[in-house]
Structure 1
Amino acid sequence: MNITQPLDSPTLSQAFNRQAMTYVFAVVGLIWYCFMCAISILGLVAARRRYRSCPASPRRTADSAPGVSILRPLKGLDTNLYENLESTFKQEYPNYEIIFSVADENDQALTVVRALKSKYPDVKASVIIGEEVVGVNPKVNNLMRPVRAAANDILWVIDSGVIVDPGTLARSVDVLTGLPTSRSNKTISLVHHVPFALIDEDKIGSRLEAAFLNTNHAKMYIAINTVGVESCVVGKSNLYRRSDLERVNGSLIPVRSQIASTHEPVVYGLAAFGKFLAEDNMIASALWHELGLRHDLSSDVACNVVGNMSFLDYVWRRMRWIRVRKRMVLAATLAEPFTESLVVCVLGSLSCRTIFGFPPWIFALLHYTLWLSIDLDVYTSIGGNKINSQGMFGFILAWVGREVLALPIYLFAIFGDEIIWRGQRYQVLHNGEARLCTDQKGSRPWFSFRRIGQYHQI
């Protein structure tokens, strides 16, 4: 006689618990997917509102416009250098000076500077030769003397690889000073500009870099700065006051809470940031946290001609960003893979299959259609024009390559602390500080670079 054995109660309980946990994880995954969609759409909407209309500033012809000192640190002949530097001579603003700085009197960039000074004799421009070493960051060392020599409190620090629109300075001053025509109603200490990559050479690394900067990076950068819950600044083109800079020391501790030490004098001002590689981000964070001031974007972009970037140049550049960010904002860096489209797609498709029984392949098709459409719209907003039909195929290939490579590059980068910048090897330390690795026989990346250091902006 066959007797049906009743199912063991613990077994039923375990099966139920597994099913419940699977459902909970699916709900969490779906919530995260919806959150990332919301962030992406926010970036799209904010980019449309800010960059598709670029109003002229009344500062262009105002006699009372505050003075601005434009600081351009140089080293060597960067891609498109003449046009990049010339764009600062063409600013539609009545009261500014330009200070170029180089560490070496034989620097080739000086030839370009002299040619531009001859072409624009009416523009107040000067050159400072010789750096002041205050740390491992060569850009900070190069800027020390220009910051002191600047005739104005408002400083506009622009990387040598950046070209800007003639109206950028006027609109940026509007935002910084809180002119009623500006878009901000906050107390602003720093105005920055979203990077936009221009391609002049059809190289795979250049295309990958442009696909990254002009879509995913721009979308997230604009969205984060629209929400404004934390400092998020890339230092290709930043406008701030020297008087504010002289009050911060990079500790990120509010000024009122800082206790002066009788044993170790605290360094304030630009010199305090020479120990960081990402000095731009640290200066912005210091203004935010130490002084309680905020940042904002103007309606302009910092155009960067990418140049001849190889595939390995691109990979190492992305790794450098990740390793520096890991030491500065660990939690955000650890969460970064979950913001990439591939991981987001996997989470969303598995969640929808568990909850709704939705086929993953259909979900993936819809997901990437949405993701690509958003990125193309952001590209159009910040770039000022749509991609033509001839360039669309190449752009999509580069976009797909960027999305596929994001996770492998991240995984390779997250477990290391060494980076190579301008031919020098550094170890990134706590809080983004860095140490120059003098032992050049130590561990090295598994690949080498012939043109390393050309893409130097961190």
Structure 2
Amino acid sequence: MNFNPKAMQYGLSVFGLIWYLGLWTIGLLGCFAARRRYRSRTTPRTTLQSPGVSILRPLKGLDSNLYENLESTFKQDYPTFEILFSVADENDEALTVVQALVDRYPHVKATIVIGEEVVGVNPKVNNLIRPFRQAAHDILWVLDSGVLVDPGTLARSVDALTVSSHSQKTIGLVHHLPVAQIKETRLGSRLEAAFLNTNHAKMYIAINTLAVDSCVVGKSNLYRRSDVEKVNGSLIPVRKQVLQRESQQSKVYGLAAFGKYLAEDNMIAGAIWHELGLRHDLSCDVAKNIVGDMSFWDYVWRRVRWIRVRKRMVLAATLVEPFTESIVVSLIGGYSCGQLFGIPLWLFLPMHFVPWLFLDLDVYQSIAGNSPRGGELGTFLLAWCAREVLALPIWILAILGSEVAWRGRSYKVLRNGEASLSVYQGSSSGWRHFWRRTEPVYHQL
């Protein structure tokens, strides 16, 4: 059989056009789903008989906007809830803020839990073990310290978790889309906001609308403690675990089972989905992520960290990721349309980027309630362009390594997203990361 370069070129062009149109379909799905979900909000169905909720807020240090973030949980319009603040160190600076809020809202049941219980390398899980156990209610709402929420968020989230929907599947977890709000004007903060409020939001909403698998960011999650206590992170259905006669005594169940992962939020969500057969739902509320003072390198290494974690958890999806970004997609579409329809690349590129940008701005409008205007629009456009240009270099940098830095500690990401903690604790920011001569030593707990 003779090799036919023209036939191969034609086949690649057809495949490229299908891929290009497929990415546009996903983008449009994310845009229209964002309009439908976030441009109007439902009225909560709460009553005095609504189930109680325990709000868990793990803390470490004085995060940006901390007082307002924590105060938003005191202001929830819901009949029965408690708040548990947890810190690993009794001298943590966040305790001063918490105590001021407890004094200001004496009618809200709030408890401060001091001291972590080490069950793995993940400090957030270690910090959550005690409040997880002490919570008075089965429904738990785990909120990161950098998140601010609206007063009706809890009520609508409980509705999504407990009220039957048209789906045949029972909801086991309700999560909220993170939306960046900037209080700092540094480049890294701008880049983070441009990423979260456009490309990330669009893809996150589209994937969760299709609901073919678990896709959850853990900044704001609502689930039942009784469900988490049944899972172990194996992602094997509970019934199959019983049939395989796995020793339950040798398995760790509940929150402690996820202490070995850096992305414990994604693993808990995946376990609820795969092990229990429960599904997830996005509330019509968002998790307002207050972006702090991020430098350029802070942004770069933050993106690198989570790409390296995803690489060990969902390798195929991570390898495909560059081919979903606008610049690479534009080159694929430009090549395909040039070969099939004779459209020159110089004409195709503006035909691609202008509607792509407007699609992202429409998503921004839906989730944030407004879009950048005036001088802010110009700043946003520069950050958006920089984010698009940086996407591929950052991905390449992330793929080439397995070490990450998080909260002042260094970790090596292992198989399935597990991690080992580095004994060496040095700077992992900027180009110094490449020139560090001391080889770190890792160990697992």
| TM-score normalised over the length of structure 2 | 0.94
Task: Check if 1:41 corresponds to 2:28.
Answer: yes
Aligned pair partner of 2:217 in 231, 234, 251:
234
1:26 corresponds to = 13
1:203 Cα deviation (Å)?
A: 0.6
Q: Does structure 2 retain, via aligned residues, the 8 Å contact 1:193–1:298?
A: yes
1:395 Cα deviation (Å)?
A: 0.5
Q: Residue 136 of structure 1 aligns to a residue in which SS? A: coil
Task: Check if 1:222 corresponds to 2:217.
Answer: no
Q: Does structure 2 retain, via aligned residues, the 8 Å contact 1:215–1:378?
A: yes
Runs of 5+ in structure 1 lacking a partner?
1-9, 450-458
Q: Does structure 1 retain, via aligned residues, the 8 Å contact 2:76–2:150?
A: yes
The aligned amino acid for 1:79 is S
Matching of residues 38-437 of structure 1 within 5 Å: 38-59=25-46, 62-179=47-164, 186-258=169-241, 259-262=244-247, 265-437=250-422
Cα distance in 2, alignment partners of residues 440 and 306 from structure 1: 25
Q: Residue 295 of structure 1 aligns to a residue in which SS? A: strand
Q: Residue 301 of structure 1 aligns to a residue in which SS? A: strand
Q: Does structure 1 retain, via aligned residues, the 8 Å contact 2:297–2:430?
A: no
2:439 corresponds to = none
Cα distance in 2, alignment partners of residues 337 and 310 from structure 1: 24
Q: Cα–Cα, structure 1 residues 349 and 262, in superposed 2: closer, same or farther, change >3 Å?
A: closer
The aligned amino acid for 2:71 is E
Cα distance in 2, alignment partners of residues 441 and 164 from structure 1: 34
Cα distance in 1, alignment partners of residues 163 and 29 from structure 2: 24
Cα distance in 2, alignment partners of residues 88 and 68 from structure 1: 12
Q: Cα–Cα, structure 1 residues 169 and 184, in superposed 2: closer, same or farther, change >3 Å?
A: farther
Structure 1, residues 383-413: CA drift from partner, whole Å, max 9, x if none? 0112222211110100000000000000011
1:264 Cα deviation (Å)?
A: 6.2
Structure 1, residues 102-122: CA drift from partner, whole Å, max 9, x if none? 001111100000100111110
The aligned amino acid for 1:393 is G
Q: Does structure 1 retain, via aligned residues, the 8 Å contact 2:53–2:139?
A: yes
Q: Cα–Cα, structure 1 residues 441 and 39, in superposed 2: closer, same or farther, change >3 Å?
A: closer
The aligned amino acid for 2:57 is R
2:440 corresponds to = none
Q: Does structure 2 retain, via aligned residues, the 8 Å contact 1:92–1:170?
A: yes
Structure 1, residues 419-452: CA drift from partner, whole Å, max 9, x if none? 0111111000000000001145899973359xxx
Cα distance in 1, alignment partners of residues 286 and 37 from structure 2: 11
Task: State the aligned residue count.
Answer: 432
Cα distance in 1, alignment partners of residues 315 and 413 from structure 2: 13
Q: Residue 32 of structure 2 aligns to a residue in which SS? A: helix
Give the fraction of aligned pairs with identical amino acids, expressed as a percent. Answer: 67
Cα distance in 2, alignment partners of residues 409 and 227 from structure 1: 27
| TM-score normalised over the length of structure 1 | 0.92
Cα distance in 1, alignment partners of residues 248 and 150 from structure 2: 48
1:201 Cα deviation (Å)?
A: 1.0
1:260 Cα deviation (Å)?
A: 4.6
Cα distance in 1, alignment partners of residues 53 and 239 from structure 2: 29
Structure 1, residues 141-191: CA drift from partner, whole Å, max 9, x if none? 0000001100000000000000001000000000000256xx866410000
The aligned amino acid for 1:73 is P
Q: Does structure 2 retain, via aligned residues, the 8 Å contact 1:417–1:427?
A: yes
Q: Does structure 2 retain, via aligned residues, the 8 Å contact 1:83–1:163?
A: yes
1:98 Cα deviation (Å)?
A: 0.3
Cα distance in 2, alignment partners of residues 262 and 242 from structure 1: 22
Cα distance in 2, alignment partners of residues 369 and 321 from structure 1: 29
CA RMSD of aligned residues (A): 1.8
Moved more, 171-180 or 275-284: 171-180
Q: Residue 121 of structure 1 aligns to a residue in which SS? A: coil
1:58 Cα deviation (Å)?
A: 2.4
1:4 corresponds to = none
Structure 1, residues 269-313: CA drift from partner, whole Å, max 9, x if none? 000000000000000000000011100100011001111100000
Q: Residue 293 of structure 2 aligns to a residue in which SS? A: coil
Q: Cα–Cα, structure 1 residues 105 and 443, in superposed 2: closer, same or farther, change >3 Å?
A: closer
Q: Cα–Cα, structure 1 residues 133 and 166, in superposed 2: closer, same or farther, change >3 Å?
A: same
Q: Cα–Cα, structure 1 residues 46 and 120, in superposed 2: closer, same or farther, change >3 Å?
A: same
Q: Residue 432 of structure 2 aligns to a residue in which SS? A: coil
Q: Does structure 2 retain, via aligned residues, the 8 Å contact 1:178–1:187?
A: no
Q: Residue 384 of structure 2 aligns to a residue in which SS? A: helix
The aligned amino acid for 1:25 is L
Q: Cα–Cα, structure 1 residues 263 and 100, in superposed 2: closer, same or farther, change >3 Å?
A: closer
Q: Cα–Cα, structure 1 residues 443 and 58, in superposed 2: closer, same or farther, change >3 Å?
A: closer
Structure 1, residues 25-57: CA drift from partner, whole Å, max 9, x if none? 000000000000000000000000000001221
